[in-house]
Each structure stands twice: as structure tokens, then as C-alpha cells.
Structure 1
Amino acid sequence: MQRLLDKVSCAALCFALLSITRVQLKPLGEQEKMIQLEAVKKSILDRLGLHKPPVIREKLDRDELRKMHWLYQEKLMELRGNLTKDETPERRVHLLTPRIERSTKKGDLQRSSSHHYNLVFSRTQTFHQRLNIMRAELKLCKHILAALRPAAANSSTKVIANIYKVVESRNANGGPESKLLDSKPIDKDTLTLNVNMAVQQWLASSDKCLRLELVITLDAPFVSDGSKQIESEDALVLEVETQEKTFFKTRKGRSVAADEDCKKSEKKCCRKSLTVSFEQIGWSDWIVHPSTYEMRFCDGSCPHNYKPASMHAQIKYRMHHINGNTPAPCCVPGSYDPMVLMHYNAERKLVFTVFEDMIVKKCHCA
């Protein structure tokens, strides 16, 4: 009983002293944040080889600072490219053959120096909106080019292949309009026309078909056999190289790993975040960019078979469950995103420092 009274008296005395000295008791959450901020500050200084923040008296002028910002962005792009190099999906080539129709809207084609062909391409199941277009080329097959050579030999000018995208006219009474995509002379064994822009727009839309117009101009008669060959199914092929879309972080810092964040009342292994403002901690005078840092850390329990990092983690849990002598798996970072710090160093020069393992991307149990 006496011990209990002593403890109560001690607690009352401590509370009285705190009241007299006007020390405010902070919630546990605020205390944790202060500890985390101090840990961040200490870790950054240690990594940079600094005992304390440098004192900056003279800063770069506006033009020099703009140049450094440009170099900073280049460094970020380089890092992102290296980071996703191994994760980039393989590229795939799609070969689309068109339905070819001879156009008669230009008048008597037997007398005309231009020959027009309507090309209609249809979507396939593997050609969907979740793809990025890396390259899109319309290729004329070798036997078509061979058929055009006699006409080219009798022509005083070069035989030109033009490819147009057919679009609806903006005029109320007007018919379809043609927009030039590429134009090349037929003077080689192979010929490819760039239709990248048209294919990108087609893929992003909900249109089922892409309509192009091929126009071959020459001032010599084009024999009927050649015309028939162009109208054949194997005359032209649209070769499109694609890649599955990847989603980088947006300006707000969200990414495809956002589902790693702890949900409300989540107690299992997940990712927590704390935004650190370099201005609020008094470091904005020597850390130029970024202005804030989103500190992420892994926390939570690791029950059986939950986010196991490896087979070893699963065995580790079973051994812990059997005898308790083996430590249970812990919630730890599984991968990181890099961060580039633009700051003044000990010599008061503006430099870049890359932190490869500072931003937690995913958490797992190990």
C-alpha cells in the first residue's frame, strides 16, 4: 500500500513540475513524428558527410539556378529509365492487313497520273487501348515495288507514294478530308511510310476501323497488272510495335504501388507515410529541391503466409509458431524508389546526391 502511495505522489509531483515549467504534454503520435523527423535529419546529414547543415551566404543567380533545375530533371529521367529497364514489358509487333478498295472519286484513273487506294484497317483482340505505340509503319511489299518500276522507268519524274489519314470534314456539306502523313519516292527495294500519329490517335479512340488513303503519283501509265497487285491482300501491311503501358508517379507522388499504403485500422504489414517539409524543419536555405520528402516506412504484423518475401520467410514463421525460439518475420521494405537531392555541400557548392534506398516502394514480411 505504501508503495502505491509513493507512486501516486511521484506522478503528482512530476505533473506539478511540468505545469510550473509550462511544458506541454504531447500526444504519442506527435512524439513519434518528432522522433521520425529527427531520424530523417540525422540520416540525411550522415549520408552527406555533414555534422550540421551548411550555412549558405551566397546563392546561385537565377540563370545558373535554372540550369541546375534542368540538369536535375534530366537526372530524374535517367534514374526512372534505369529503374524500369528490367521491369519494362517486352515489345510486340502487330501485323495488320487492310481491306483495299480502288478509289474512283478522282475521275478516270486510267488517264490520271495519280492512283488512289482506300485502306481500311480493323482492330484485333490483341490491339487494345492499354498499349503504347512505339512504331507504326505502312510497308509496301517487294512485288508491288517491282510492278511499279516499269512505270517509274518511263516517267520523267520520280514515282511518289503518299499516305493520308481520312477524316470527316468540318464543313457541314463537305465529304471526307485527307491529311498527309508521309510521302516518299519509290526508288528502293523496300518502302515504309510513317503512320505513327494516325495509329496513336486510332488506338486512343473507340473507333473500330482506321481509314487511310494511299496515293501513287507518276506521269506514266500504270499497267493494269500492277494495279491489280496493289489491290491484292498481301500488297500492304501495317506493322505496329507496341508495349504495355507503365504508370509512373504523378506530381502528387502516387504510383501503382499506392495500394501498399495502410488502410484505416490496418494492423497487418503495410506502408505508412509521413511528409517531411524541408522548409518547416529549417533546411530550405541549403536544400533546393525537392521542397518536401514523403518518408515511407513499413509497419504491422506478419501473420502466416501474409506477404512472404521468400520461402525462407514462410519457414521462419512456422518455426516461430512451433517453438517460439525463432524470431517471427518482420515487416520490412521490399523495394525502393530513388530520390535526388539538389543541395549545397560543405564547400557551399550546389550539387546532386542520389539516395537509391530512401523512398520505400513496397513492404513484405521477411
Structure 2
Amino acid sequence: MQSSPWKVRCATLCFTLLSITGVKLRPVGEEEKMIQLEAVKKSILDRLGLHKPPVITEKIDKDEMLKMFWLYQEKLLELQGNISKEETPERRVHILTPKLERSMKKCDIHGSHSHRYNLIFSRTHTINQQLSVMRAELKLCKDVLHALRSAAANSTSMAMVNIYKVTESSHANGEQNHKLLDSKPIDKDIMTLNVDTAVKQWLASSEKCLRLELVIVLDKPFMSSSKQMGADDALVLEVETQEQAHSKTRRTRSLSTDEDCKKSEKKCCRKSLLVSFEQIGWSDWIVHPSSYEMRFCDGSCPHNYKPASMHAQIKYRMHHINGDTPAPCCVPGSYDPMVLMHYNSERKLVFTVFEDMIVRKCHCA
């Protein structure tokens, strides 16, 4: 189907008018970039207490400029030293759910019945050997404990929950070794079992999986469905970690690339926009740096993805349950400072430190 002569003439006329008036046809995304640049310019001026860029008619001489550059470098070194002193190793809470298997092993002693469950935890991309374990707890949910207390009603002995670490025996018979990690009675709405030792050994090793055995001791049979014990929140391993001191330097070096958005990335990540002070017409009053990389956080925050805190994980669960609570948002987690050497409103060359101008990392909060 051919276009009518009228449509062709109309299109030609529109293009001619745009050319005469100087309006440029920008590709998709260019308009968004212009909006971002305007936001940057306005924010810098506001921070400096300026309504518009100062007009510089006379600049300082070369000797004075050289002296200012030395002072500028000293200021940068001072800031870098402060960051090294003040920066504490990052802490993070990891939530792991096990692959659960009902054990057929029988171990009934003095009329008690033991119900055994094999728990297999696998490493995630955030669990590695560079982490120190600050706390590791296995948590049983309220529904499971309620069922256990019901089964233990009118019992003649105390119902107990034991957690063991399972390792393969060095003997040829293929038996497994069991080391008791914690043992608690079933008498509360919430139960946490301490598994610090096992998790510390696991993270320090190259083992892909952590194997534990949960043993419930009752004086009568306990009928629990595999669906009830195998629910996502029935058994949860909560591990709080902290980066080891020697890994901080390596992390800082790789952080700039690790945080950047990959191609077609939709989850929370860091995006960048190079701002050239020369291109925006500010090179006459901003002496150094000549440009800076504006970074901002963008993307979705699915469950347990870059959580800023335990609060962020709870916030996601509440949002998922009723929708009234806002979902976690992708926001900056830390910043690098930037020192601006510029002329002020009195046309004097000064330094201004922007503590929160360059985004280092993003997380969900």
C-alpha cells in the first residue's frame, strides 16, 4: 500500500520546519538523559548555594593554581584514609531453606520414639569462604511447634528437639558420624537451635552442602506430613555473616564492576551516566574534576535479593502477603565522596566535598 501524495508532502514539511527551527530528532533515551543532566546541574548548584553558575572573568595565576592542585590531592588522600578507618566489614543475614528428607532410621529407646529428618543446605552465590559467621540459627516455625506440642500433650517425659551435624565416616563401612550441636525442649512458640560450629566449618571448607539431622524425641508416635515439615518457612537456617578483613581490599577493587547492571538486567543494580562539565558548559568555573560518573540505583527487588537488613526481608514478606506494605526499593547502600575544585560566588577558588554524590553499591530496603 503506497502513501498518499498529501501524507508525503506533510512529512516533508514537518521535517523542514524542525530543521529550520534547530530542533534535533533525538534517539530514544536521549530525552531521559537530558532530564538526568538537568537534575545533576540543579542539585550541584543547590548544594553550593548558587542560583546559577558564577561568571568568571579572571582566573588565578599558574603558581596559585599549582598550589591549589597540591592541596586538592592532599584532600583526596585524606578522604581515602578516613574511608579506610571508618569502613567496617559488611554484615549480612542469609536465609537458607533445606532440602528435607524423612529418615527411615529407627532409634526408639525406653519407650520414646525418635522422628528423624535429614536437612541438606546448599551454598548460594552469596555464601563463600571469605565470610566470617557471626551467628547461625536453625528456626522452627510456629505451626510445626504447635503440632509437636499437641503430640507431646500428656506425655510422661519431656519432648525434645535435637540437631546434629552429619559427616561421612572415614571407615569403609560407610557409616555416618553424628555430632550433637544443640538440644531444646518443646515448650515455646518459637524455637532456635544453635548451629554456629557446623556452619563455620562449612563456610571455611570447600563442601558444597551442609548436612544436618533433626531428631524429635517423643514418648509416642508423631504423625507429621512431609508437606508440613517441608514447607518453605517450616525450617529456616538464618546465618549472619561479616566480611573478613583481608577480603575487604579485594571486594573494594571489584565492587565497581560487580554492582553495574548487566545487559538486560532488571533486578536492583547500579546504572551510570558520564557527566562532562565541559559539555554542559561548566568548565570555566569547575576546575577539577573535568567529569564525573553519576551512578544511580534501579531495578526490582524480589525476595531475598540484596536485602539491606532483616527488616527489608520482613517488608517483602508483608508486601507479598497483603500488598498494603510497600515492597522494598532499590536504593544506594553506600557512597564514595567527590571533591569539587571550583570558583564560588565571590570568584575565589575553593574545595567542596560531596560525601554522598557517587553511589558505590545498591541494595533493597
Q: What TM-score, normalized by structure 1, do the two folds share?
A: 0.51
- Corresponding residue for 1:316? 315
- Corresponding residue for 2:80? 80
Q: How far apart are the structure 2 equivalents of 1:18 and 1:79?
A: 52
| Shift, 1:51, TM fit | 0.6
Aligned-residue Cα RMSD (Å) equals 2.6
| Shift, 1:29, TM fit | 1.2
- Corresponding residue for 1:198? none
Q: Identity of aligned pairs, percent? A: 79
Rg larger in structure: 1
Q: Which runs of 4+ in 1 moved over 6 A?
A: 12-16
Question: Is the Cα contact below 8 Å between 1:277 and 1:291 reproduced in 2?
Answer: yes
| Shift, 1:27, TM fit | 2.5
| Shift, 1:348, TM fit | 0.2
| Shift, 1:326, TM fit | 1.5
How many pairs are equivalent?
Answer: 199
Question: Is the Cα contact below 8 Å between 1:18 and 1:24 reproduced in 2?
Answer: no
For residue 346 of structure 2, give the secondary structure of its aligned residue in structure 1: coil
Note the residue ranges of structure 2 that are not aligned, 5 or more in a row. 1-8, 90-244
Distance 1:360 1:13, change over 3 A: farther
Q: How far apart are the structure 1 equivalents of 2:54 and 2:313?
A: 47
Question: Is the Cα contact below 8 Å between 1:270 and 1:363 reproduced in 2?
Answer: yes
Distance 1:325 1:274, change over 3 A: same
| Shift, 1:14, TM fit | 10
For residue 56 of structure 1, give the secondary structure of its aligned residue in structure 2: coil
| Shift, 1:285, TM fit | 0.5
Distance 1:315 1:88, change over 3 A: closer
Q: How far apart are the structure 1 equivalents of 2:10 and 2:325?
A: 43
- Corresponding residue for 2:352? 353
Distance 1:87 1:288, change over 3 A: same
Distance 1:339 1:19, change over 3 A: same
Q: How far apart are the structure 1 equivalents of 2:251 and 2:289?
A: 15
| Shift, 1:319, TM fit | 1.3
Q: Which structure 2 residues correspond to residues 1-366 of structure 1 after superposition, within 5 A?
A: 20-22=17-19, 23-87=23-87, 244=246, 247=249, 256-366=255-365
Letter of the aligned partner of 2:281 in structure 1?
A: G
Distance 1:359 1:351, change over 3 A: same
Letter of the aligned partner of 1:27 in structure 2?
A: P
Question: Is the Cα contact below 8 Å between 2:340 and 2:352 reproduced in 1?
Answer: yes
- Corresponding residue for 1:178? none
- Corresponding residue for 1:225? none
- Corresponding residue for 2:159? none
Q: How far apart are the structure 1 equivalents of 2:314 and 2:65?
A: 54
Question: Is the Cα contact below 8 Å between 2:335 and 2:359 reproduced in 1?
Answer: yes
Question: Is the Cα contact below 8 Å between 1:79 and 1:338 reproduced in 2?
Answer: yes
- Corresponding residue for 1:180? none
Letter of the aligned partner of 1:291 in structure 2?
A: S
Q: How far apart are the structure 2 equivalents of 1:292 and 1:247?
A: 26
**Deviation by residue 1:182-201 (Cα, 9 ceiling, x = unmatched):** xxxxxxxxxxxxxxxxxxxx
